[in-house]
Amino acid sequence: MTARPPSPRTVSRWILSRPEALTEPEQLQLKTVRTHCPELDALTRHVRSFAVMLTQRQGEYLPAWLEAVRQDDLPSLYTLAAGIDRDLNAVTTGLTLPWSSGAVEGHANRIKMLKRQMFGRAGFALLRKRVLLAQ
């Protein structure tokens, strides 16, 4: 009797998790999956190297990563690489510099949520008051 293979969702979680965050049985199962499927092994390598670039701000390695992605036969990563190529300078800068627009994006999303809640209920004066009081 053979064991059931892990679900795609489980394998995705293993690939996207930090290797040290996986339990020993999970690491062993992922190693088995990677051994049996060379495409998943290549995908795992690319995802983890991109995660290192992202967390350690190593944007200067992005062109080499894109070239490595193009060398492997992984159509899903081709789409990602093509999207990155369209604005390579901005992505490289985002992976390199320590600044983030996260706070600004958070405020913009909060204001849009308030606007959606108020749609058709009152005029600009009430919306303005809610935005100012919601801080």
What's residue 1's pLDDT? 63
pLDDT tens digits, one per residue of 85-111? 999 999 999 999 998 888 899 989 988
Give a three-class secondary structure readout of the chain: CCCCCCCHHHHHHHHHCCHHHCCHHHHHHHHHHHHHCHHHHHHHHHHHHHHHHHHCCCHHHHHHHHHHHHHCCCHHHHHHHHHHHHCHHHHHHHHHCCCCCHHHHHHHHHHHHHHHHHCCCCCHHHHHHHHHHCC
Note the pTM of the prediction, 2 decimals.
0.74
Query: What are the residue ranges spanned by the domains of the chain?
Result: 8-96, 102-133
pLDDT tens digits, one per residue of 28-50? 999 999 999 999 999 999 999 99
What percentage of the chain reaches a pLDDT higher than 90? Answer: 67
